Structure 1
Amino acid sequence: MRFSVVDVSDWEPARPEAVGREAKEWIRPPGTPESTREHDWLFKPVVKPANGNRQGEDWAEKLVSELGALLGVPCAHVEMAARDGRAGSISRNVAPDGWNLLLGSVLLGAVDPDYVEGELRPPGRPGHSPEVILRAAGDWDPPAGVHGVDAETVFVGFLVLDAWVGNQDRHDQNWAVLRETTHPGRLRLAPSFDHASSLGFNLLDSRRTALLRNGVGGFAAAARAHRFEHDPGATRSEIPSLVAVARASLELEPAGRLWLERLEAVSMTQVADLVADIPGLSDPAATFALEMLRINRERLLDVG
């Protein structure tokens, strides 16, 4: 059953989105009361850079959200969409009414004195590390609907999902906590969101074809956790890989090994079925995504 592309041309503008480099817009279905925000969706148009290549942020967002569901990692609800003839994706607001969203960049300053807040790309990303985040997460509840697993373990699931799909964009504004607006003001880890920078979304099909011919392993292994703290003098190859960071997080939070158990239980047939359900995905893009997911699965499970 193929996923659909939702036409949101008649959805009502709600507000612009200030976070991020690309233009985005919060919209809501017609007739939604203005008093609520939990029914708002963030429309993110596909980027077309100067070389004219139609990037795949829309299908990457959708596919990763579905892969997260396979693992049981709580993710924002995402659909592929079109607005006024422009392709993109919509991601439902992860903050229900009665809760405010606190980005990681707001939280970490109170946790680690080395954290640099307000700077777009501080060299070495001081203070933004899984160690610091997991230490802070001890005071948070897990996302709504998650039972028997604490917030620390869920965040490890975010890192395992990132490593599986090659998402290198887990910076300090691409994860968040929800704060209850009424007493006692509980804190709750928000579902994972913003997974567009995954699965070679921005490659030309000619590049994908060449990599498939020569081997995707090198490309997959080159995915670095450069959004987390690292030596500011390190070359890119010296920055830990996404897989290395995910596996290291399991030493900090051993309960997170459940994500590897779940990953092992996911078959590549299930993954292939999801990829086949993405509308408009080219054969090279689909084959490349599948091969990357196969390789990263084996790297995480340390097999092959």
Structure 2
Amino acid sequence: MKKYLQPDKIENYSGFRAGLGKIEILKKHQYYVTDQPVSGDAPKKFIKHYEYGEAAKRHPNKWPAFIAKTGHKWYPIESITEYLLNRLGETLGIRMAASKLAYGGSQIRFLSKYFLAPDQSLVHGAQIYAGYFGDDQDFVEEIEKNKLAKELLTLQITQKAILKFFPIHAHQILEDLIKMLLFDAWVGNNDRHFYNWGVITDVKGRQTPYFSPVYDTARGLFWNYQEQKIVSLSKNSKELEAQIKKYITGSSPKIGWDSEVDINHIRLVEQIAKYNFGLKRESIHDLFSDDNLRKCEALIS
């Protein structure tokens, strides 16, 4: 018997009520929940979902797979924010995991398309760090648990770890990781821990390893604000500007920089640009070109 999405427990409500005419409705004859487990803090289910042109309706086992996530900490703005950030990343030309919003199990879900093909494996950042530190996974986990990632897992250490794991393809992998970090700095994502990025490998060693599409980008400006508060801020320009400046200053990465204490996103970007670390300064300008920024502004408006 097929299983379907059920309502997940919600911690906080943002107050937004979406018109479902704008969001795809998951019909029971077009999706089902599989038994494949999915890790993470947010409620997630692995589903198969029919999409026109992907596979025939009569072969549900061949339908594309998605991870259906409920933004339970601040519903539904958390999921809507994640979708918006994904669209912004795509607009900048960053390879993002294909995604969409959908309504199923009486809740709005963020659907991220499963991007691993058969015979592919995702080597998480945690595994790459563990390999660098003598295959000591527990040590790496303790670093995150004790909030020492910025101090011990710096960008320089990350580069060395990638070089050790993927010596031939490290340059391109590092370049794509830097683009992800620049994107995180731009949108204010401060939750890019080492399970939220990785490298895709061919388990049979036939294909070139490459940096994964960017996924799990659910944190940004006002993601945990109620709608009423945002409306109130929009009517007070000074307070709105103060809130934005506070967020910009306080937004920080999980990956740090050697000899920098409690580095924030702005400082990390400055250091990357100053030393052309993994990406030339000209490429950074291209990423955030006036044309790209205008496209992003048009997307938001």
TM class by smaller structure: 0.7 to 0.9
Aligned equivalent of 1:289: none
The 1:17/1:273 distance shift into structure 2, 3 A limit, reads farther
SS state of the match for residue 192, structure 2?
coil
Aligned equivalent of 1:13: 33
Report the alpha carbon displacement of residue 160 of structure 1 after superposing the two structures with TM.
0.8
Aligned equivalent of 1:175: 197
Report the alpha carbon displacement of residue 177 of structure 1 after superposing the two structures with TM.
1.1
% of aligned pairs identical?
A: 16
Report the alpha carbon displacement of residue 205 of structure 1 after superposing the two structures with TM.
2.6
Check if 1:240 corresponds to 2:263: yes
Aligned partner letter, 1:21: D
Report the alpha carbon displacement of residue 159 of structure 1 after superposing the two structures with TM.
0.7
The 1:190/1:4 distance shift into structure 2, 3 A limit, reads farther
How many pairs were matched up?
257
Aligned equivalent of 1:270: 295
Check if 1:24 corresponds to 2:47: no
Aligned equivalent of 2:131: 110
Aligned equivalent of 2:280: 255
Question: Which of 249, 252, 257 pairs up with 1:221?
Answer: 249
Alpha carbons 2:128, 2:162 under 8 Å: kept: no
Question: Which of 116, 119, 124 pairs up with 2:148?
Answer: 124
Distance in 1 (CA, whole Å) between partners of 2:22 and 2:76 is: 19
Alpha carbons 2:256, 2:268 under 8 Å: kept: no
Check if 1:61 corresponds to 2:85: no
Distance in 2 (CA, whole Å) between partners of 1:230 and 1:255 is: 17
Question: Which of 174, 198, 210 pairs up with 1:152?
Answer: 174
Q: Deviations over 1:123-180 (max 9, x none)?
A: 312643322223344427879xxxxx82211111101110111111110100011110
Q: Deviations over 1:239-286 (max 9, x none)?
A: 21112223323322242641332202335542232123xxxxxxxxxx
Alpha carbons 1:103, 1:176 under 8 Å: kept: yes
Structure 2 portions without partners, runs of 5+: 1-20, 51-56
Distance in 2 (CA, whole Å) between partners of 1:71 and 1:86 is: 30
Q: Deviations over 1:221-255 (max 9, x none)?
A: 22122x23589xx9xxx621112223323322242
Aligned equivalent of 1:81: 102
Structure number with larger C-alpha Rg: 2
Distance in 2 (CA, whole Å) between partners of 1:66 and 1:26 is: 22
Question: Which of 219, 222, 239 pairs up with 1:200?
Answer: 222
TM-score, reference length from structure 2: 0.74
Alpha carbons 1:124, 1:230 under 8 Å: kept: no
Report the alpha carbon displacement of residue 197 of structure 1 after superposing the two structures with TM.
1.1
Aligned partner letter, 1:14: T
Alpha carbons 1:154, 1:256 under 8 Å: kept: no
More displaced stretch, 95-104 vs 118-127? 118-127
Aligned partner letter, 2:68: F
Q: Deviations over 1:50-87 (max 9, x none)?
A: xxx53422222221122112221111011011112211
The 1:266/1:159 distance shift into structure 2, 3 A limit, reads farther
SS state of the match for residue 82, structure 1?
strand
TM-score, reference length from structure 1: 0.73
